[in-house]
Structure 1
Amino acid sequence: MARQVQAARRIPLSRERVLEAAVSLADEAGIESFSMRRLAQELGVVPMALYKHVANKEELLDGMVEVIVGEIDPPLPGSDWKNAVRLRVLSARQALQRHPWARQALESRTNKTPAVLDYMDSFTGMFLAGGLSVDLTHHVMHALGGRMWGFTQELFDDSRSPNGSVPAEIPPQAPAAMLRQMADRYPNIVAIAASAAHDDQSVVGHGCDDQFEFEFALDLLLDGFERLHTQGWTSKRAEA
């Protein structure tokens, strides 16, 4: 181990090396406990050495996001726009699943970096290249929102409702009296929760197949965009 640390210290520090180490550290420790001091320890340098390559922690996070964006597959050449968009979104989802902290980092960026803007421009370009109008593409991007990065705010994102009173899913071991009480007060939630086949490894909700739910909604949106494009749809503002 001592030899590995010494060897690492002999490798010249660069922005690329700093960002790669930062991503690895965030993967291991999470973004909450991430710090410039800890990153410096991982690299075997003093904290001030990092500031030759990144001005501050915010610039470091921007660079880390840049690394994640670089992992997303480019548009598939020769593919129709609908399939190209679908594959791109799922690639983005895989990238963010490899780095659980990345979503939080993306959402915390107040300024769009060149890497993020490049991705957004390329993503928008897939619709325009497919023949969708600028007007329709504008609304398409609003509809997709964070889904273009492979994530979305799910209905069952937590085990409780916003007011903390309603479980998103009913545990199978719940007493019959509790089930009856919930069914009386929240009949529609209980009907939905009891109807679906569940996967215990889900992160969307207790038992929901989050990958299936994500792709289900994505396909609904893409089908809808395609239908509007075929119909020559325009917004009322564009017609004015």
Structure 2
Amino acid sequence: MGENEGTRRTPLNRDRVLAAAVAFADREAGGTDALSMRKLAQDLGVVPMALYKHVANKEELLAGMVDTVVGGIEPPAADADWKAAVRERILSARRALRRHPWAPRVIEALPAPPPAVLGHLDAVIGLFRAGGLSVDLAHHAMHALGGRLLGFTQELFDASPGPEAGPPDPRPALRYPHIAEVAATAAHAEGDGAAVGGGCDDQFEFEFALDVLLDGIERLHLAGWTSTGARRAVQ
């Protein structure tokens, strides 16, 4: 019996289709751009039409793949306070998505968040509310955290050196001394092993920003902050 024949005898279901699609996108250099229903069917040893019993089209396939990836987010420890629990869940989301580099771009491109993403966001709000935060503050905290809720970062510029970067030009340092000062500090930290890949340590920077945001949210919570009061204060 050939391998394809044995594969065809294995019952096909939605979970198996999605798992195979995730594995394909992880394996191929083009990620989901290289994925097609025909290629996925070849991987599964079935005809393309067999896939349409489980996913209507590629958009539904991509949404299901995101659900599979986000489903790998681990819940925080049951005894953690709300701030530690939110931090733990967000870092788990970051680990889950970093295992699948194609996933963030797919999430951003989908016309609507799939169920697992909505479930993750709902869980984070639930952690805020269980910690005593008001609906008002939880709402604005979700806005403040933004893409970090799923482990995304959005840098202003790509600071990593190009593939053929030559010796540094000293002239910008004279014109922009504060940028040069920060860059020199970052270079020193890299020499101490704090940075990876010739630039800032992305994980450290992510956690730093996350902690700054969570500390600020906690401070507002303890102060009884409301958006109505904040708007009145600036009028």
TM range (shorter): 0.7 to 0.9
Distance verdict in 2 for CA 1:10–1:221, change over 3 Å: same
In the alignment, the residues of structure 2 paired with residue 115 and residue 200 of structure 1 have an alpha-carbon distance, to the nearest angstrom, of 33
* Alpha-carbon distance, 1:84 to partner: 0.3
Structure 1: which 5+ residue stretches go unaligned? 160-166
Alignment partners' CA distance in 1, 2:226 and 2:158: 34
Residue 14 of structure 1 corresponds to which residue in structure 2? 13
Q: Which stretches in structure 2 are left out of the alignment for 5+ residues?
A: none
Please, which of 207, 213, 224 is the counterpart of residue 232 of structure 1?
A: 224
Whether contact under 8 Å (1:31, 1:101) holds in the other structure is: yes
2-structure distance, mates of 1:102, 1:209: 21
What is the one-letter code of the residue matched to 1:149? L
What is the correspondence of 1:154-165 to structure 2 with a 5 Å cutoff? 154-157=155-158, 159=160
Aligned-pair identity in percent equals 61
1:96-107 mapped onto 2 (5 Å cutoff): 96-107=97-108
How far off its partner does 1:52 sit?
0.8
Partner residue, 1:189: 179
* Aligned positions of 1:193-204 closer than 5 A: 193-196=183-186, 197-198=189-190, 201-202=196-197
Task: Provide the secondary structure at the position in 2 that maps to 1:155.
Answer: coil
Distance in 1 separating the partners of 2:19 and 2:218:
39
Contact 2:107–2:113 (8 Å) recurs in 1: no
Partner of 1:163: none
Structure 1 counterpart of 2:167: 174
- For 1:85, the aligned partner's letter is V
1:136 is the counterpart of 2:140: no
Comparing 63-72 with 4-13, greater Cα deviation is found at 4-13
**Bigger mean CA deviation after superposition, 55-64 or 180-189:** 180-189
Distance 1:188 1:23 in 2: 44
**Structure 1 position 189, deviation (Å):** 2.2
Structure 1: distance between partners of 2:139 and 2:105: 25
> Once the two structures are superposed, what CA deviation does each residue of 1:37-75 show, in whole Å capped at 9, x if it has no partner?
111111111111111100000000010011011100124
Q: Distance in 2 between matches of 1:46 and 1:201?
A: 45
| Distance in structure 2 (CA, Å) of the matches to 1:238 and 1:133 | 14
Partner residue in 2 for 1:27: 26
Once the two structures are TM-superposed, the CA of residue 192 in structure 1 deviates from its matched residue by 1.4
| Per-residue deviation, 1:187 | 2.5
Looking at structure 2, the residues matched to 56 and 139 of structure 1 have their Cα atoms a distance apart, in angstroms, of 36
Instruction: Please provide the CA RMSD for this pair.
Output: 2.1
User: Retained in 2: the 8 A contact 1:66–1:115?
Assistant: yes
Residue 217 of structure 1 corresponds to 209
What TM-score, normalized by structure 2, do the two folds share?
0.87
Maintained 8 Å contact 1:69/1:116: yes
- 1:145 matched to 2:140: no
Alignment check: 8 A CA contact 1:25 1:39 kept: yes
Q: Relative to structure 1, is the Cα distance of residues 158 and 101 closer, same or farther in structure 2, using a 3 angstrom cutoff?
A: farther
TM superposition score normalised by structure 1: 0.86
Q: CA deviation at 1:123?
A: 1.2
Aligned residues: 223
